[in-house]
Amino acid sequence: MSLKHAILVLLETEPSSGYDLVKHFKSRLGYFWNAKHQQVYLQLKKLTEDEWITFKAHSQSNKPDKKVYEITELGRKGLGDWISQPVKPNKINDALLVKLYGGHLTSKDNILAELAAHKKSHESVLENLLNIENNYLELNKDKQAHYLLPYMTLRRGIIGEKAWLEWADEVEKTLSI
């Protein structure tokens, strides 16, 4: 039950609407957490009922109204408690690897085409992460220190994506012989 906590850490950094959070997950923290908008809105509702967060309706002149949520003291305490407890190692369920494992049941071309498609998507994620890194590196030292931990999570994304692409190249070379 960690979508809850993923939402809370983001709200702890800055108040946001559900829509903002989803965009955050989609665009910047995809290597970190993924959630559909329906799931996010549901958790926001539950967190509001538990009084871990509150919201204010913000009317916008150029866009539909939105609810901007912020974390409460209760929420900050709950989040702190969770963060102080150990978390389980990450669970990996990778359908592409399942497919590759059983790749003899389809054509080599099909496998290579699918790999190429995934490669494109990983390349675009990496590019995006590198842009964010560049922005971070241009900050002054105080701000860099302030965002050090989020930056460390960004580094996980960058190193992880590079490793994925390295692996994909290896597979392409091996299968093309």
Kindly list the residues in this chain that would bind DNA in the complex (CB under 7 A).
1-4, 17-20, 23, 34-39, 41-42, 44-45, 60-67, 91, 93
**Three-state secondary structure string covering 114-163:** HHHHHHHHHHHHHHHHHHHHHHHHCCCHHHHHHCHHHHHHHHHHHHHHHH
83 binds, among its own copies, DNA, none (CB under 5 to 8 A by kind): its own copies
3-state secondary structure labels for all residues of 80-113: HHHHHCCCCCCCCCCHHHHHHHCHHHCCHHHHHH
Instruction: Please answer whether residues 4 and 48 qualify as being in contact, where contact means their C-beta atoms are separated by less than 8 angstroms.
Output: no
Binder of residue 64, out of DNA, its own copies, none (CB less than 5 to 8 A by kind):
DNA
3-class state of residue 21 by DSSP: helix
Tokens found for residue 72: 């409460």
Question: Closest separation between CB of residue 170 and its own copies, Å?
Answer: 6
Q: Which does 148 bind (CB under 5 to 8 A by kind): DNA, its own copies, none?
A: its own copies
- Tell the residue number behind the tokens 């997950």, with chain if given: 25
Handedness of CA 54, 46, 89, 73 (dihedral sign): positive
Positions that interact with its own copies (CB under 8 A):
2-3, 5-6, 8-9, 12, 30-35, 76, 79-80, 82-84, 86-106, 110, 114, 117-118, 121-122, 148-150, 152-153, 155-156, 159-160, 162-164, 166-167, 170-171, 174-175
| Identity of the residue, 65 or 109, whose beta carbon is nearer to its own copies in the bound complex | 109
CA distances to 2, 26, 80, 106, 107 from 9, rounded to whole Å, are 11, 16, 10, 43, 45
Residue 73 contact among DNA, its own copies, none, beta carbon within 5 to 8 Å by kind: none
Residue 67 interacting entry, from DNA, its own copies, none, C-beta within 5 to 8 Å by type = DNA
Q: Which is nearer to its own copies, 58 or 146 (CB)?
A: 146
Give the shortest CB-118-to-its own copies separation in angstroms: 6
Nearest distance in Å: CB 59, its own copies: 30
